[in-house]
Structure 1
Amino acid sequence: MSQVRETPAPAEVCILRLSAIGDTCHVLAVLRNLQSAWPQTRFTWVIGQLEAQLFADVAGVEFITFDKRAGSRSQQLQPLRDRRFDILLHMHASMRANLVSRHIKAQRRIGFDRARARDFQWLFTRERIPHRPHQHVLDGLLGFVDFLGLQRTAPRWDIPIRDEDAAFARQQRNADRGLVVLSPCSSQRARNFRNWPVARYAEIVDYLADSYETDVVLTGGPTSLERDYALEIGARSQAAVTDLVGKTSLRQLYALISEADAVICPDSGPAHMATAAATPVIGLYASSNPGRTGPYRSRELTVNRYPDALR
């Protein structure tokens, strides 16, 4: 690869990545890399309303939150009207993000290569990072760092944890036992094959209790699918579980993941939150490729049935 000339530190950079939880965790690692290279640069991140809750206390960045229910023509993008950035890093290949990008004025507009620029993203950018196949999503996003001619640093996240959230997490731990967070579902959507059978999860709960004297906390969102999963896991397992599905904020969940000894989950946001918290992840992968979307720091712990699913 030819040497790319280093981009001088700009005054203002805008990052556009609205969702989802896991992807925004990846983008935070890219942001930390940029902050290390350009400590005097002012960073603004246009981010989804839900995702912003997790990063609310991250220092050195201004968040402009976007509620997708309100649409790109609403007043929520008003703070961008009189702003002009040196660089826009358009890290979200979706039509919704493309429409949001029209409100962002920038001298340089950098996005994905044609192979990754879904929903015509290339029409909304003027520069594109090169395509490199067979990459983890985080490594792909770090391609923006390479494109700017900057040195990659070891990924770091440093998500602050508030005292009250840390206290909440400690309350879930029995001092004499281990603690595992089990987040059984990825999302409630059509044709979602990522979630493992309930009976298998119940077996995991009992195995951890019997073999490792470890307690299990169930986590997830408030959807009916996730609630039903939690209720059935609790009914099928012999060991007691703590059911926090739909009962935590994102900040509380991150604190709990940070407190835990390990996280078990399919391809979903908690896997990448655990990566950010340096908590080991046992990822359960079959319908998605863990080489691309697996937990970045725990790939050796991944249960990988993706090759079997391709047969």
Structure 2
Amino acid sequence: MTTVLALRALGLGDALTGIPALRGLRRAHPDARLVLAAPAGVGGFLASFGIADEVLDTAGLQPLRWTGEPPDVAVNLHGRGPQSQRLLQQVRPRRTVAFACPEAGHRDGPPWPIHAHEVDRWCGLVQWAGGDCSPDDLRLPGRREESHVVLHPGAASGSRRWPVDRWAAVAAGLAGRGREVVVTGVPAEADLCARVAAAHPGVRNACGASSLAELADLVASAALVLCGDTGIAHVATAFGTPSVLLFGPVSPDHWGPRIDADRHRVLWHPHVGDPAGDPHADRTDLRLVRVQVDEVLAAAEAQLAVASVG
């Protein structure tokens, strides 16, 4: 049996934006064993939808623990390289599909599309290699609408984290209007979530209480998702759950919802002359600071009203 190894050893949001490319690989190699090199939790979540057959537990740029015969095809969905390219070279694939990276000795590939949306970037690579995929392949099954609003205040870095007091004000505002608000986050965000949940007795704190599959189900069944530029935003996009998304250092043209524009309201306030954003910085980005509580509440109510009609 032909084996295809795809490297995308990144977090939840990155994994989800790679779904169309992975589905394109499946179509290009329908009889192959598709192995995804990714963190076990994220990879297992994708495999549960049949997007990959197996998961090779890999985090970041750690050496691949590949055993057995070299893969027939290795696909770099992780980055331009050179480090990621060299990782794949170490397993001696018969063929490599990747963007051109002369530093790693790989020239047989398209140039890196620096300004492309993340979804389009990896779709483009797979299309170049003969696969059929599009942004519509982002969709995951399982959408059903209940009444709760998911509010996810955390993000991987401070620059993408809206101030906690503002999230608390939004939670209190929605709960005060009779909305069922559920605060979510990873265990490391327990203090952040507790501060938001304390804003109103009607807010439920579900921080750290769910597995990835359970969290995804909570999002898939929500009436609305409120969050920043983080993995939960991509979960909402995949399931078609309406959302209000707060962006800061990174343009939504690169990382925002790629489908169903009517379901997702993006709040982002760049000004001419702003310095370049740093998605890994500790301090809240000034474009995110410009987003106000009243604006988020208004967007949330507008999205909820549209959803109730639709």
Question: Normalization by structure 2: what TM-score?
Answer: 0.76
CA deviation after TM superposition for structure 1 residue 219, in Å: 0.9
Partner of 1:130: 111
> Alignment partner for residue 167 of structure 2, among 201, 207, 217?
201
When residues 17 and 261 of structure 1 are mapped into structure 2, their CA distance, relative to the original with a 3 A threshold, is: same
- State whether residues 17 and 90 of structure 1, in contact with CA within 8 Å, keep that contact through their aligned partners in structure 2: yes
- State whether residues 271 and 283 of structure 1, in contact with CA within 8 Å, keep that contact through their aligned partners in structure 2: yes
Which residue identity does 2:94 align to in structure 1? Q
When residues 32 and 152 of structure 1 are mapped into structure 2, their CA distance, relative to the original with a 3 A threshold, is: closer
Does residue 1:285 correspond to 2:251, yes or no?
Answer: no
> Alignment partner for residue 251 of structure 1, among 213, 220, 226?
213
- Root-mean-square deviation over aligned CA pairs: 3.0
Partner of 1:83: 70
Give structure 2 stretches of 5+ with no counterpart.
Answer: 276-310
Counterparts of 1:53 and 1:238, CA distance in 2? 36
Does residue 1:148 correspond to 2:110, yes or no?
Answer: no
Aligned length: 272
Counterparts of 1:219 and 1:244, CA distance in 2? 5
When residues 61 and 69 of structure 1 are mapped into structure 2, their CA distance, relative to the original with a 3 A threshold, is: closer
- State whether residues 19 and 51 of structure 2, in contact with CA within 8 Å, keep that contact through their aligned partners in structure 1: no
- State whether residues 112 and 130 of structure 1, in contact with CA within 8 Å, keep that contact through their aligned partners in structure 2: yes
Partner of 2:23: 32
Partner of 1:4: none
Counterparts of 2:71 and 2:58, CA distance in 1? 22
State the percentage of identical aligned residues: 24
Partner of 2:231: 269
Question: Normalization by structure 1: what TM-score?
Answer: 0.76
CA deviation after TM superposition for structure 1 residue 152, in Å: 3.6
Counterparts of 1:252 and 1:57, CA distance in 2? 13
- State whether residues 57 and 159 of structure 1, in contact with CA within 8 Å, keep that contact through their aligned partners in structure 2: no
- State whether residues 25 and 272 of structure 1, in contact with CA within 8 Å, keep that contact through their aligned partners in structure 2: yes
- State whether residues 139 and 240 of structure 2, in contact with CA within 8 Å, keep that contact through their aligned partners in structure 1: no
When residues 284 and 267 of structure 1 are mapped into structure 2, their CA distance, relative to the original with a 3 A threshold, is: same
Give structure 1 stretches of 5+ with no counterpart.
Answer: 1-9, 115-119
CA deviation profile, 1:278-303 (whole Å, cap 9, x unmatched): 11221101222111111223555100
When residues 39 and 113 of structure 1 are mapped into structure 2, their CA distance, relative to the original with a 3 A threshold, is: same
Counting only pairs closer than 5 Å after superposition, residues 84-123 of structure 1 correspond to structure 2 as 84-85=71-72, 87-93=73-79, 97-98=84-85, 100-113=87-100, 122-123=103-104
Which residue identity does 2:78 align to in structure 1? H
Which residue identity does 2:36 align to in structure 1? W
